[in-house]
Chain A
C-alpha cells in the first residue's frame, strides 16, 4: 500500500483551486473525447479511439470494454488497453467481480480498497473451509484485468433500457479514483454506449444493404437507388448521433438546474443548510413503457420521454411542486420545498389528479401516481459537483410504495396524506396495505375533489340548500365552463388550499338570490335588478387575483393589521385586473364593495344587495374552510351563528344574512336565538 499521490496539498484554498482547475480541465477533455467518439460509425475504430483517449487524455491506463450477450448474462471482452494480454474474447458471467456486479445491477460501482477487502473476505472463506463448510462455496472465478488491482470503476452501458456492455477502468493503486473520475467516466460511457448502439445499427444496415447488393447484382439499374438507401440510412444515423449529442447537451443544461429556483441564491452564497420540513412526496411511474418503447429508435425514446417529463413537470409546477428527479421513466416530485407550505398535501393531490386527467390527451400510456406526506430532511445531496436538491427520510419510501400499489390511472395516498386532504377530496379505500417499516396501513385512492353537495363541512344534507337547490352546483359548473374556461380554478385554489371555494361561493350566492326573490316585495324588490349570471361570475372571480400574490403571504398563519390590509389591497387590485382582462370590467364596482364590506366588517355606510349576498356566501365558506392558518374550521352551526350575530348584522337588519342562515342551517337546528329581525332592505 502506498500513499495516494493525487491527494491535494494541505492548504484548503490551494486544494480548492487545484480541484476546480482539475474539474475544468477534465470537462474540456471530456468534450474533446465525446467529440471524437462521435466521428465514427465503425465499431472497432470507435472502441480503439475511446480507450486510447481515456489513456492519453485522462490518464486511465488500464481500461477494457466488454459487450453483454442478448440475455445480459455473459460479458465478453471486446477491447482493452494497458494489459499485457489483449484479452479479447475472455468472458465474465454477470454478477462476478466489480464489472460483473456493475452490469448485473446496472449501476456504477467504484471500489478503492480491493486488496484489503479481498484479503479480508478470503480470510473468511478460509475460516469457513477450516470449519468444514467449504462445500457450500463457489469456485474462485478467474476474471480478466490486473491481478493486483486495488481500484476499479465499472460503468454499465445501458441503451433503451437494455444492458449492452460495461466499461471498466482499473489501477494497481488503492483509492486511485474519486467521484470526479466517476462523473467523467460516466459521461464518456454514456456517449460511448449510444455510439456503440448506433455503430451496430449502422453495421446492420450495411449488412442488409450488402445482401441486397448481392441479390440485385444483375439489376444494375437498382444500384443507384441502393447506394442512395445506404446514404440515406447513414445520414439518418448521423442525424441520430447529432440528436443524441444535442440531448446530451440538454441533459447537462438540466444538471445545472439542480435545485428549486428559490434556493439558488442561498446556494450561490453557500448558505443553504439542510433542514427538516413537512412535505408531500409524489411519485409517478409509466406503465409498461419498456414494452411500449421496444422497437423505437433511441432518439425517439428520448424525445418521447423528454416530452413526457416536460409535460409532467409543467403540471407539477402549476401546483407549486418541484420535480427533484427523474429515474428511467419515473418522476419524483416534492411539494412544500424548499420552504414549508400549508398546502403541500392538497397541492400534491391536485397535481396527481391533473396528471391523470390530462395524460390521455397527451400520451398513449397509463401511469401510476403515489403520494405520502411527512417529515424529511431536505438539502443538497450527491457527490461533489453533482449534488442536487433532494430529501432524505422514510416519507419518500412510503410515497414510492404508494406508487407501487396504485391501480393504473389512479392516485394512491398514504394515511398521512389522506388525513390532510380528506376534507377536500372524495377518497376510495384501497384496503390495508403492507408498508415496509410501518406495518399494515389503510391506504386510499383519490377519486376527485368533493362535489359541493357531498362536502359535509360546507353543506348539511338536511339544509334547504341541499334539499331545494340541489341542481345549482351543476349550473355553476356550466357557467364556469361556458364563460370562464380561460381560468384554471383548481390551481388558483390550490395556492391556499381553498379548494372548491369559488364554486361554493357562487352556488351559495345564487341560491340566496333566488330565496330572497321568493320573499315579500320589501326583500325581493332591492334584489330584483341583480343579474343571476353577473352574480355567479362575480362570485367565481371574487379572489382571482390570488395568482399574483405570493403563496407564502396567502398562507401566512398570523397576518394582521397593516400586513393584512396590504394583502387585501393587493388581492383586490389583482382581482380587478383579472376582471378587466377576461372582459368583466363591469363587475368591478360590486367586487370593490365586497372587499370594502369584508375589510370593515360591514360596519360603515351602505352596501348594494349583490355585495351583501357575496359577502354572506364568502364569509361562510371561509369560516367553514379547514385552512391550516385558521386553526380548526368552524362547524356549520357555529359559522352560521357567527354570521347571524356578527356585530354588523346584529345592529342593522340585513335580510341577506338572515335568509342565508335559513338557507344553510341543518333542518332541526335553530341558529342563534331571539326575535327574527324585521325584514327591511335598504
Chain B
C-alpha cells in the first residue's frame, strides 16, 4: 500500500500474494518443526514406556505362609541353621531333600543358602499382578485397594525390577529370582570374540585398500563389495553363520577339534560361532570407517616418511596409524555397540533358550542380553514384561556407556593432532 505509485494494481497483487506466500511458508515451517518433534516424542515415549514397567507395585502370593513355618514363636528369618534344615525337611519330599543334600551337603551350606531354599521351594512366592510405575505413583491408593480386593492373600510391595541383584543373579525360570548375569556375561564373551576377530582384519583391510591397493579392477570390486555388504540385512549374516560356522565348521566351533569338549553333547552353537558371525556383520562398518580415518591423515606425513628412506610399512606404522587411530577407535566402538544390540543373527545361529550357567570358554553355549529381552518379551505372562523392561534398562545403560566413551575419545584426541 505504498503512496506515489504509478501502477497500484500489480503491486497490490504482489503484496497480497506475498502475504499468502509468507503464510504458506510459516505453515510449512511449523509442519517441519512438528516433524522434528515427532522424533523426540517417540524417543521419550519409548523411554517412558520402559521405565514404567521397570518399577511398580507387585502383588505376591505365597503358596505357604512363612508365618506358619515359625518354630515355637521364632519366625523363619531368625531361626538357626539347624532349625531351618528341619523346617525344610518337614516340608519337602524325601527325594527332593536327598537331591539337595547331593548337590551340596547341608553341613557345608551356609544358613542363607538353606533359608533361600526354603523360600524358593516351600514358601514359593508367585507374582500375580504388577502395576506400572505411573499407576503406582499417581494412583497409589486405588492400586492398593484393587490389590486388597482382588488378591486378599497377597503381599503388596513396591518392586524395583532393576536393582544390583538383577545384574548379578543368573537366569532362572522363576521371574522373582531371575537376573541377567548369564546374559551379560554371554554378551561380553561374544563381543570379545567379535572384536578380536573383526578389528585386526578390518583395520588390515582398510590399510590395504588405502595405502597399498592400486586402482585396479579387482580393488574397485573389493570396495564396491564392501559397500554392498554394509547394507545386507543382519539376519542374512545369521544364516551365513548358521550354515558355515555352526554346521560346516562344527568341529572347530564346538571345540571337539581341540579335544576340549565332549563330542556327544557339543555342537556348533557356541560363543565362538556367535562372535564370528557378529564379527562378519560389523566387518564392513569397521573397514569403511577405518578407511576414512586413514584417508584423513595428510599426505605430507607419508611423503616426509618415505623421503627419509623408510619403507612403506614403516611409514604407515609410525605415522599414519597413530594419527588415524582415534578415528578408527571411535568408529570401532560405534560398530561394537551396534553388535551388542543385535538379536536376529544370534537367534538364527542358535542362542540357547535357557541356560543358567555362566559361560566359561569360547566353546560354551550362549545367550546374550538382547536375546534374553526377546525371550522375556515373547512370554505371555505379564510379569515377564517387567523383567524385559529391567533388562532393557541394563542394555541401554551399557550402550550409553560405550557411546559416551567414544565421544570422549574423539574429543580428547582431536586436540592432540592439532597441537
- The reply to whether chain A is a binding partner of chain B is no
Give chain B's interface residues, CB within 8 Å of chain A: none
Give chain A's interface residues, CB within 8 Å of chain B: none
